[in-house]
Each structure stands twice: as structure tokens, then as C-alpha cells.
Structure 1
Amino acid sequence: MVPARFLYVMLGARQRPMGEAQRFAWRLVGANHRELGRSAQVFADPGECRAAVLRLRQRVGDARALLATADAAGGGGWAWRLEIEGRPVAVAGRTYQRQRDCQFNLGQFLHVVPVAELAEPAPVRSRTGAAARQRVAPGGEPGDRAAV
């Protein structure tokens, strides 16, 4: 079984105008490949993104967890956010119908952060031509996040 691990993702690769800077984020996925949480911020490069993961691992014990209901326009449900020194560092990857499910997911996230596999970010390669326009993240739609 594959252990829980941090993934680095490039945001909006399909929708970004030529020449606009790339943005990156991280996601924490469990052994079952389901997302446990994601970064609350975006980063200029994969190295900066990995550094944020390292800071989270070092300071997860200092984090403050907040649970709240999402607005009805966004589909409603419960979501969590993790803050360190008042700054959001991680958020739930989705909303939950029940508060207890949201709390359980937060607990799973906090339990796995210190032990999750930390990969080195892959080098970012520029894509050109038809293949670049057609590439879609597995199980995704055009414009979805592409894993780095």
C-alpha cells in the first residue's frame, strides 16, 4: 500500500495566458489516494511550495483548527481550516454534510501530516503544441489542476 503523501500541483495550467507566471499548491492524499487537505495559499514555484509543507510539519502542533459551515451558494456543508499565527495554512479539500465527518477528516489530516511521504517536486517543463492542449489530469476535465 502506498503511504500518505504530499503532492505538488500546478494551478490553472490550461487557463493561464502565455507568459503569465505559474502558481503551485500542495495537496495531502491518504493511502487510499483521497485528498485529506490542501494548501490555503498558492506559491510561485514548487520549491517554495515544498518549504511551506516543511513549515507545516514543524508547526502542526501550534496550529489552530476552525470548523464552519459553508455558504448555501457554495453547496453548503461543513469545512475546516488550519491556521498558524492567525494565517491560514491548510483547508479541507471539500465540504462535508455532517460536522462529525468534517471533524474526522481534520483529525486524519492532523494525524498524517507529520508522517506523510515528502517527495521532491518534479522539474517544471514547458509544454507546447497539440499534446499540451489535450493533456488532462487523470479523472479530470480540461483546465483542472495538473500534478507536478
Structure 2
Amino acid sequence: MSAPRFRLVPGGRLVHEPGRGGVGWRLLGANNRELGRSALAYADAEAALAAIGDVRVLAAGGGAHIVHNPTTGRWAWHLITAYDLVVATSGRGFRHERECRYNLEQFRAHAPSATVVDA
């Protein structure tokens, strides 16, 4: 197993619009499971790396929302700035709220110290 790490990815993959440009990031756990992802696609890798720096700080003590989608029945979390801008989100929906909360806890625990690796 490897250590938790941020990996830069094409922004279109994160927002499910393959033609969309930009760069985003995913935080992968030691077991290669996605712990969270950027909620935004950034103009370039440099902007995405700067956003990772901000997310590290927010993960340590910023705000978060747990949301429920009544259409799918799934739970997700969003990491937010002081201005309620969503900057990170769970990589998938969860069937149970407690699983979603646990995933957010794992993201918060690993994001501040995770390294950034090349895609």
C-alpha cells in the first residue's frame, strides 16, 4: 500500500463533461480508494496545486455540509469556504449517512499531509 496522495486529473472527468478542459484533483487513500475530489475544474495544473494548498487548510478546520439527494437516496459531503463555495466533495454517493460522515472524517484526516503525485 502507498500513502494517501493527491493526483491531478483532467477537469472534465470530475464534472462528468469529457469535453470540458481544465485540471482537477482527487485524494486517494492508501488503498487507492478515492477519499474526495475537487468540486471545480481549474484553468491549469498550477491553479489546481494552489487549490490543493487551500483544501489542506480547510480540511483541518473548515466547514462542511452533509447533503442528501432524495432522487437517488444517496448522501454526499461538501467541503466549503467561509463564503459557502464548495471546493471539495465526496467522490461518490453513500447509501448511509454514517458512511458519508466517515468518508469526510478520512478526508479531513489525510488531506493536510497527503503528497501530490504526477498523474
> TM (normalized to structure 1)?
0.71
Distance 1:39 1:15 in 2: 16
1:103 paired to 2:92: no
- Alpha-carbon deviation of 1:24? 1.0
Identity %: 36
As a proportion of its length, which structure holds more helix?
Answer: 2
How do 1:32-47 and structure 2 match up within 5 A? 32-47=31-46
Report Cα offsets for 1:32-55 as digits up to 9, x if no partner.
Answer: 001000011110111110110011
Q: Is the 8 A contact 1:7 1:28 kept in 2?
A: yes
Compared CA separation, residues 52 and 97, structure 1 to 2 (3 A): same
- Alpha-carbon deviation of 1:15? 4.4
Letter in structure 1 aligned against 2:103: N
Q: Is the 8 A contact 1:62 1:84 kept in 2?
A: no
Compared CA separation, residues 11 and 107, structure 1 to 2 (3 A): same
Distance 1:24 1:102 in 2: 25
> TM (normalized to structure 2)?
0.86
Q: Is the 8 A contact 2:12 2:41 kept in 1?
A: no
Q: List 4+ stretches of structure 1 deviating above 2 A.
A: 11-16, 58-62
Q: Which runs of 5+ in 2 are unaligned?
A: none
Aligned to 2:11: 11
How do 1:1-148 and structure 2 match up within 5 A? 1-12=1-12, 15-16=18-19, 22-72=21-71, 75-85=72-82, 86-119=84-117, 121=118, 148=119
- Alpha-carbon deviation of 1:68? 1.3
As a proportion of its length, which structure holds more strand?
Answer: 2
Aligned to 1:133: none
Q: Which runs of 5+ in 1 are unaligned?
A: 122-147
Q: Is the 8 A contact 1:80 1:106 kept in 2?
A: yes
Compared CA separation, residues 12 and 82, structure 1 to 2 (3 A): closer
Report Cα offsets for 1:17-70 as digits up to 9, x if no partner.
Answer: xxxx73111000100001000011110111110110011113333411110111
Aligned residues: 115
